[in-house]
Amino acid sequence: MTPATRYDLAVLLHVTADIVFVAGLLAAALVLAALSTHDAAQMARERRLVGALRGWHRRVTTPSLVLAWGLGVWLALQAGWFHSGWLQAKLALVLALSALHGALSGALRSASADAPAPPARGWRVAPLLALGAIVAVVWLALLKPF
C-alpha cells in the first residue's frame, strides 16, 4: 500500500468515525434536551429509551470518538499541520465536543438510575451548541482559513 493510499484510507476512516460520533452525540443531546421537560413519573417511563441510548453511547459513540481522535492526530502528524492556526482552533472545538460527550455520558447514567431525576434544563441548549461546534470544525477542516 502506497503512502498516498494509506493517507486516503485514514481520511476515509476518520470522516466515517466523525459521522458516527456526531450522530451519537446529537442523539444523546437531543434526548436529554427532551427529557429535561419531563417530571419524575415520565422519566420512569423513559428508562428503556435512556438505557438503549446509553448502551449505544458506550458501544458505538465512544469508540468512534477514540478512533476519530487517533486518526486525526495521525493525519495531522503526517501532513505537518500542528503549527497551523486552523488546526489549533479545530482542536479546541473538538476538545470541547469531547468534554460534552463526557458530560452527556454522565447525564445518561443519571437518567438511567433506579430513581431517575429529570436532566437539568440546561441540556436544552446542548444540541445547538454541539451543532454550532460541529459546523465550525467541518468548515475549519475543509477551508483551512489560517
Boundaries of every domain in the chain: 3-143
* pLDDT tens column, 40-63: 888 888 889 999 999 999 999 999
Written as one letter, the residue type at 98 is: S
Where do the H-state alpha helices sit in 1-146?
A: 3-35, 40-45, 47-56, 62-79, 85-111, 126-143
Alpha-carbon distances of 83 from 7, 14, 19, 98, rounded to whole Å: 19, 20, 26, 21
Average pLDDT, the chain: 95
Q: Does 137 score more than 90 pLDDT?
A: yes
Give the mean pLDDT of 83-111. 97
Least confident of 32-41, 65-74, 86-95: 32-41
pLDDT-derived band at 18, boundaries 50, 70, 90? very high
The pTM of this model reads 0.94
pLDDT in tens, 88-99: 999 999 999 999
User: According to the model, what pLDDT value does residue 47 have?
Assistant: 87
Q: Which three cell numbers stand for residue 51?
A: 438505557
- How far from 42 is each of 19, 36, 45, 116, 124, CA to CA, in Å? 31, 10, 5, 10, 17
